Structure 1
Amino acid sequence: MIGQDLGGRYEIISRIGGGGMALVYKAHDILLNRRVAVKVLRSQFVHDEEFIRRFRREAQSAASLSHPNVVSIYDVGQQDDIHYIVMEYIEGHNLNEIIQERAPLQTEEAVRIAQQICDALEHAHQNQIIHRDIKPHNILIGKNGRVKVTDFGIARAVTSATITQAGSVVGSVHYFSPEHAKGVSAGEQSDLYSLGVVLYQMLTGELPFHGESPISVALKHLQETFVEPRVVNPHIPQSVENIILRSMRKNPGERYTSAGEMLRDLETCLQPDRLNEPKLVFDNDAEADMDETRIMPAIGGALRDSQPSSGARPTPAGAGAAGAAGATGTAGAAPVQDEEPDEPSAAAQPKKKWVRPVVTVSVTLVIIALVFWGVRTVLAILDVPEVEVPYVVGQTEDEARKMLQDAGLRVEEPPVKEHRDDVENGIVFDQSKSNMRVKEGALIQLWVSLGPRMEEMPSFAESSYGDAVEALRALGVPEANIKKQEEHSDTDPGTVINQSPAAGEQFDPKKTNVTLTVSKGPATFKMPDLRGKNEEQARSQLQALGLRLTGDEVVYEPSFTVPKGEVMEQYPYAPGAEVTKNAEVTLTVSSGPPKDAIEYTYNVVISPAEVGGTSEVHIVYSDARGENIDWGTKKINNTKTFQVKLVLVPNTEATVTIERDGVFMDSSSITYDEAVSGEHPGTVFIPGFEMSNGFFQDETPPDGEQPENGETDDGERGRDEDRGRGKRDNRDGENGEP
């Protein structure tokens, strides 16, 4: 049945119990998404039409009950040869398990349980439903302490086919009422008698009657008195014992008239003023009206009463005449012949009065003895020795089987196997009929653990960490058992790149730690400075770092400042920026100056400001390479010539500015066209303040030349102009105006 769907709606999960007539399974109601209990009739009853008809009628009748202490009936159905009842699923234990575990119970707890059972019976009786099988096995105690009575109406459906079922008779005979044991109609008082037995067992831990066979127990319910509860457990209040004594009277007329009356008694029995009330005494404690031994009346008595009271018989009509004649003729003969048949002797008269009754009684006694002997003989043949059921919970399945077999018992096949988080695989976690004596060869049901429910680990590759956590929580993995590790990888940040346990492995969701390795994205490092390196050096360094050139090419651009073949720029990652492996980098490499650019040498001839002194010369120039480029600073103590390299391109102009000792001395410009045509002299002279022989002191003509004839005046005048300009420039510089 496990895994089967009944009615296309109830998915059978596991077996949770069973009896002589039905097996009970835990199931899932797919339509309403809830747990239910499904009771399925055993296969031997499916062909008993009368049983099935009464089963359905009584189940439907029980479904009409709606009470907080009654297990609700949800549905009744049939699928092929399977007849089933769907009812409320109670998470907890039945009362029999609680009694076996810790009886005797505290008086307050036992009374509270009895009150709830009685409340349920009152509701059922008001709806004309008699339970007829009240026993601890049919009382469920939920985890919240709520008492639920189950199996309403099922006991009524028992037919002659179930009389021999050990599960139904043996399991219930200890709770039979006397009228139930006799087979007569059982009413409301029958349920109250059974409730009294249950209360007796809760408070004493024992049953009121024991016997070697079900028949002997049933006879004790009819004929014998039980040991009073306070004799077994002196801690029971007298008021509570009185309830048991009254509910277990053999005469139904002396019990409670209704469940409501018994409930009211239970509600007040623990009040202080009732605890020590007088013991309940009945007028007819012998209960002689309940199947006491009677002497059967003599069969011949009636016959004797119908005969004449005297032994004389009527005289025939001719007797008087004959007697008279005999008296006159033959005296003495005739009277003797007439007296023998008509007048018996003194010994014969009593024989007629006692022989026949004695024979009748003797025959009756013989028959009774023969019947008694036959019954004892049959019972002796049928009576099987009882054995103690060993406690096998906690043993492996093989060990449990061996222990039960050694005790002369059998294991009901197959054992029920369920997943249990707290029990290892292969260990027995429950059994039927524990801590009791049963017939040798009886079947014992075992519940064996399959260990924690294992799940298959799904694959979280390429899933986000959040989605993976939600999937694990849906499988029952506690969030505390989910561990996160982060690593650099080429996948997107936040994506799962590895997991433990691996995908497809079986794991215990409640206990297994799951580790998810999550990508932090590619690893980053500092971008090196490639500027100033030649192209080959830059390519090698990029390859070593795992970086790639954009399009595997470089960009070449002309440059006046960067020598040809050197890296001028790197894009988009500046030096020191964070970069990841396989990132693309664009390099701009200098192709040198443009083709139409020219390099022009500009000569600066300059003397110290004073003869024999030292001056500091500072030159700044502007050309195609940029503005106000610092050529440098030099110290001189005599006339020196400095060369300034200028780069010119068409339509541009270069400028050279000279300072001496921080004073502006000269600024000269040259255009591209002047440089190409040679029109610009390309030299500037900065003399000192004194002249000798037409030249400044310590100054010699360039290249040692003397002024040519006819050029002296012009040359001197030119020098005078230059000197005057220098003086003016000097004065201007002194005034702070370059």
Structure 2
Amino acid sequence: MSERYRIEHRLGEGGMADVYLATDTYLNRQVAIKVLRLDFRDDQKAQQRFRHEAAAISELNNSHIVGVYDFGDTEGMQYIVMEFVDGQNLKQYIKQNFPIPYAKVVDIMEQVFVAVKEAHDHNIIHRDLKPQNILIDKQGYVKITDFGISKAESENTMTQTRSIVGSIHYLSPEQIKGHIANQQSDIYSLGIILYEMLTGKVPFNGETAVSIAIKHSQNPIPSVRDFDPRIPQALENVVLKATTKNPADRYDNVSEMAQDLQTALDQSRANEARFSINSAEAATEETKVMPFKPLTAANLKTSDGKQNKRNQSKSVPKRRKHHRRRWIIISILVLLVLLTTALAAIGSRTTVPSVVGLSQQAAIEQLQKSDLMAGKITYQASDEITKNKVIATDPKANTKVSKQAKIKLIVSAGPKKFQLENYVGQDYQMTADKLEAKGFNVKKRNASSETFQAGQILQQDFKAGDSMVPKGSTLTFVVSTGISQVTLANLHGMTKNQVISYMNKNGLNPVFDYVYSNKTKKNRVDHQSPAAGQIIRQGSSVIVYLSRGKREQQDELHQFNVRIKIPFDDQTDGQSNQSIPTKMAYTKNAEESDDYEQSSGSDVRDDSSSDEIEDGQSSNIILIYLKDHDHKYKNVYKQMIITKDSEITLPFKLTKNEVGKYKIVRNDKTIIEDSNVTVDSH
């Protein structure tokens, strides 16, 4: 790795790996390199998870999934070389852009759905979907990453110790309980992500992971409309259905969720009722046959029984009397047989229940409750009935049939799929019209090209031969603008929508950023780069700075430096203290993890004399922790490798009322610490 990849600086850190920006010197391109941290070098499970991530992503070929270019290890340190996404993660995006327009929320989620569907189509369950694992580049293109704990759909989600894997704020109830994760588990996480994009926060928080897990398992998801009543009910319904406690009540697959979300802002769904889970009707009541007491000659007494008794004393031939009694008994017995047969016939009939819309298993159970059996099961394409739900029965519902009769079930195979082609080189507008007529949602991104004429398709975000359900599916094409040039207009004062309209019309790609301004009205363009009047190619990106309005008054920040001498310890007992491969130059500016604001690398000054470690040279690993107005103490502010006594200057920013602190850790031991750094003391 040291010969091919030149490390530039660290991009961030995770639970077991650090990510660096690097240059691939063979191909002259920027890449991201994930390096397993030193403390996990001898951890077999961590190494296995690291290898698994590379293997999982290599199976997937989708423009919305971060690609893997290379994988290996150098001097016992494993690394993955990945596509570099120049942008930010969704957690940071939400923090900076909240509230996010609903249409933008839908757009981002649709791109995430494309990536998750690709994984599910390969029977890979991500199991750790969260905003930190969703990246957005400066053109608004979304990619997901971190398949380190993904599993094949048939595999268990728990380790041998039954410990939970995944991020607790986005974990489904079944994963928390130790059950096998499936597509519905990822759908639950997607529902939580959608909740956070709409409200700016996660639905459940707590002091411990256990308390959060209990809330996911027991508490209903809070209403997003309670947070903001302007959120359409149809949009909240997507959140509610995706996050039901029972996986069977969620969307059957990501495509179904995408289809529902895509129409959530339509006027036709403006008066939609709030989503709730409808339980199946109770089974039809059984026909009860009341017991009866057999009739005999002894209890057959008529109203004139006394008169009959008196007549017995009259002179009637004995034989005639016995003959008449016998016929009476026979007649009664015949009537009883007919009555019993009629009651039995009535009791052996039942009514076919309505099972349309139920799952196959639920339909079978409903038939059994009505003393019926499931017969032949056939599958039929349907645009109205969800996949794997019952379309109809044969005989139809409410038909009278004999008990234990076999009822045929016709089950939905889902909407009919359309096989896609390789459209590269074709005219975009003709292709888009044809696919939209099939029901696809088609999106366009511009790019300049010297080989393709304007209007021709350069790239597509799906593979030729893929089969998709048109309704609810989004196809994205990168379209050539040729080599036409555009003279940039003055965008000052425009709204964001006006900028987007201008960019689309001229074949340009806007990149939005925000600045404070005392002169420009909030949410209007303050300035742009390149400037107005510059000539650029179509397909180029233009950075547009929108005003956040005036900056609120804050306590005055005081800046000062603290200079520290770090002693070198050569008593290493033969242990290797290097946290990075040897002969690899690293720049000195460190950045914090994805969950916090990045530190300002330009403020970090390192006075050590060498950037490289020679083979076999004794070295110390130095970790520096710093807390001031801009930095969190629990994150490593800076990591160094020293080979001799070294000095470093730490820049502090504090108000009069703030107290800063720092500590120096050498080879896992704190050697220097100060917990009372104030403006007055320096």
Say yes or no: TM over 0.5: no
Q: Answer 1 or 2: which has greater helix percent.
A: 1
Larger radius of gyration: 1
Larger RCO (CA within 8 A; separation ≥ 6): 2
TM-score, length-scaled by structure 2: 0.42
